[in-house]
Structure 1
Amino acid sequence: MSKRKVAVIIVAAGRGARAGQSAGPKQYRRIGGRTVLERSISAFADVTDLAAGLVVVIHPEDRDPFAAATSGFAAPVATVPGGATRQGSVLCGLEALEAFSPDIVLIHDAARPFVDGATIARVIDGIGDETGAIPATAVSDTLKRATQAGHIDDTVDRESLFAAQTPQGFPYRAILAAHRAAAAAGLGAFTDDAAIAEWAGLAVRLVEGSPENLKLTRNEDIIRADRILRGEAAMIDVRTGNGYDVHQLVDGDHVTLCGVSIPHDQTLLGHSDADVCLHALTDALLATCGAGDIGTHFPPSDEQWRGAASHIFVRRAVEIVRENGGRIANADITLICEAPKVAPHREAMRQTVAEMTGLDLFRVSVKATTNETIGFVGRREGIAALATVSVIYGEAR
């Protein structure tokens, strides 16, 4: 570490609205048994005197949670009330450090609790007498510039683009003067301290950042960080839904199964086209997100569904699954009937189901079995169908 006198400002005055305010500001949320803020402060324990050379900028309403979060430190941690913006809060922190009179200052976001000592050391070593330094990582994703309507205008060249991290380090007097000048000029839209330094003419160099130095922005980030620190693997939320339907056979000339019309000396009796396969499939899909059953959405008392093609029901169930964040993984349908023979029509039936559900053909199974002449199915009084689907809804909560 450098022998220069180092000070640290940790910005922790935000409300963290994107992380869900009902759980409180994100810097006081616990990950792996410790608060986010406590982990951020601890990262700088070897850099400066936590009792004198480090100041945490907090919201005036957060004194109690701050005291609880820092109760484990041997000495009290200095605080200063923040401003209306992050930029204003940093200036408050810089002003509070004047009595300490540091040579250089590191400015860090409390929401980056995974910063490591190597990254901090690189930033300190990169700070010159008239030069700041920030950690950054090269942008690896393809970037698009788009209109507000969501249409792409062009692709941005990422060759010279970097994602900035914190801590950002500067000669103390230079960055204090830059912040004061920006405030005096009424400029308050800078997104980080390096931008203020650049505006004020202070050179800033990039040093190697760390992919682990993540910023916790949304509630999902905090949940994932907690699981990682606790050594818990994220559980993928895969749900299985089952559906069953049966319809009576009466005299006729065809049956409709999986949307395919099959010549037969009987037909299925029902309010719609009585496609037992698609009715079972509809129920199975709705079951994966607790959305009721086919009768909930298409009641037989409603005349608009009389004689309706059952693919309408399946397509609406697919929409409901997707509206709830689901991605259908597979569909398996079993027909129970003595006749007609399903094998000659199996591929057409699979193709139809695949088209309705948006699945690849290898993810759709249609098979049939008899009831060995037992019961109403064995007596050819009706046809039954079972359907099972798997739907992925992301990580479990």
Structure 2
Amino acid sequence: MVKVAALIVAAGRGKRFGGELPKQYLPLGGRPVLRHSLARFAAHPDVALVRAVIHPDDRDLYDAAAHGLTTLLEPVPGGAERQDSVRLGLESLVEAAPDVVLIHDGARPLIDGALIDRVIAALGEQPGAIPALPVADTLKRGNGRLIGETVERANLWRAQTPQGFRFPDLLAAHRAAAGRTLTDDAAVLEAAGASVALVEGAEDNVKITTPIDLARAESLFRGPGEPRIGSGFDVHRLGPGSSVTLCGIELPHDQGLIGHSDADVPMHALTDALLGTINAGDIGRHFPPSDMRWKGAPSSIFLAHAGALIDALGGRILNVDITMMCERPKIGPHRARMANKLAEILRIPASRISIKATTTETLGFTGREEGIAAQATALVALPF
């Protein structure tokens, strides 16, 4: 599989916007602009690494914006110019050795997953690819306050980010271009003689440059939001042990659940359901079983991460429904504690959490008490 990294460039001071607070840390839908950008890449199922490049003075602002997004790499300080910041970010990824890198403006908070997909797909044929929109307006070149000439708009495009590149090619191009001032990363690769593809951009992928841009973006966060439904299913085998953990509650049992983490079946199913509402892949993409950091880890880490991604995107968890399938232990006596535990992790009222259990009438692997299964459904409202 192609290993994809994303660099979120957020070291600028936003002088054109005005004000004391850099624009990437201004509130949008109740959260910093940068948090939306970080969350959209952290949630993408094909992006393995996400790192921000920030101004050295902004670490406290960054920490507040990134709080709860546990899979982000440590940020690195940027340079005097954007081009310097990108080069420093690329150098910081050398050891990780991604195949592909996406460079995105931290002040473009409304990027969608389909656009990211298009950029990544285009890199199968070209060393670089950028999203862009064709110029529709008639263009005029000015001569002071007068028209100097009309510019032919055919084959003119408005470039956006994320701009995607094969990592070794862009790193070499940036090293060669150090000291020059080029307008974007595509221009850096072009200067090295490589081809860059154009893919379809998106009108909503606006860069926050002026207060009007921020107001336009803010309008998308008004109203009830778009409903999204996700589902999840998980199974874990029963084996030697004296207890099982279900929905974060340890229950005495004559067997234990076997898994890389704590094998909390319903919590794993619910995590997948929540990730499904934002098209963020599955639990294994964010917490691969090959990573020993998650050996024996409490599944509350996984569920909290899914909840944080939804929150960072401005979403609201409306309700979740879990059904466990097992002969034993009996779930009914523990249902309220389980709901309260999940509510605490997701920071939603327990009244939004439904927990049920059923047997399979001694049929199948759950009936033979070889394992426990769970399925979950979640309903989330997203801003757009």
Sort the TM-score into its range (normalised by shorter chain): 0.5 to 0.7
SS in 1 for 2:75: strand
CA distance change for structure 1 residues 72 and 49 in 2, over 3 Å: closer, same or farther? farther
Residue matched to 1:207: 199
After superposition, the C-alpha distances for 1:169-224 in whole angstroms (9 at most, x for unaligned) are 000000000000001xx31x211000011010111010011111111101221133
Deviation at 1:76, TM superposition (A): 4.8
After superposition, the C-alpha distances for 1:102-132 in whole angstroms (9 at most, x for unaligned) are 0010000011111100000000000136521
In the TM superposition, 1:287-302 aligns within 5 A as none
Residue matched to 2:106: 110
SS in 1 for 2:53: strand
SS in 2 for 1:159: coil
Matched, 1:224 2:216: yes
1:158 and 1:57 mapped to 2: Cα distance? 34
Contact 1:18 1:219 in 2 (8 A): no
2:134 pairs, out of 135, 138, 144, with: 138
2:59 pairs, out of 63, 69, 76, with: 63
Contact 1:7 1:48 in 2 (8 A): no
After superposition, the C-alpha distances for 1:245-283 in whole angstroms (9 at most, x for unaligned) are xxxxxxxxxxxxxxxxxxxxxxxxxxxxxxxxxxxxxxx
2:202 and 2:38 mapped to 1: Cα distance? 18
Residue matched to 1:167: 162
Higher relative contact order (CA 8 A, sep 6+): 2
Residue matched to 2:76: 80
Letter in 1 for 2:195: A
1:151 pairs, out of 135, 146, 149, with: 146
Residue matched to 1:28: 25
2:71 and 2:3 mapped to 1: Cα distance? 19
SS in 2 for 1:43: helix
CA distance change for structure 1 residues 125 and 116 in 2, over 3 Å: closer, same or farther? same
Matched, 1:98 2:90: no
Contact 1:56 1:79 in 2 (8 A): yes
1:180 pairs, out of 153, 175, 183, with: 175
Residue matched to 1:12: 10
Contact 2:138 2:151 in 1 (8 A): yes
2:65 and 2:107 mapped to 1: Cα distance? 14
CA distance change for structure 1 residues 102 and 48 in 2, over 3 Å: closer, same or farther? farther
| Structure 1 residue runs without a partner (length 5+) | 233-397
SS in 1 for 2:85: helix
Letter in 1 for 2:188: I
Residue matched to 1:44: 41
TM-score normalised by structure 2 residue count: 0.56
1:129 and 1:56 mapped to 2: Cα distance? 27
Identity %: 54
Deviation at 1:21, TM superposition (A): 2.5
Contact 1:6 1:48 in 2 (8 A): no
Moved over 6 A (4+): none
After superposition, the C-alpha distances for 1:32-54 in whole angstroms (9 at most, x for unaligned) are 1111111001111244698x721
1:119 pairs, out of 102, 115, 122, with: 115
Contact 1:139 1:158 in 2 (8 A): yes
CA distance change for structure 1 residues 62 and 195 in 2, over 3 Å: closer, same or farther? same
After superposition, the C-alpha distances for 1:262-316 in whole angstroms (9 at most, x for unaligned) are xxxxxxxxxxxxxxxxxxxxxxxxxxxxxxxxxxxxxxxxxxxxxxxxxxxxxxx
Contact 1:11 1:109 in 2 (8 A): yes
2:110 and 2:44 mapped to 1: Cα distance? 16
From the CA coordinates, give the structure whose radius of gyration is larger.
Answer: 1
Deviation at 1:73, TM superposition (A): 1.4
User: How many pairs align?
Assistant: 224
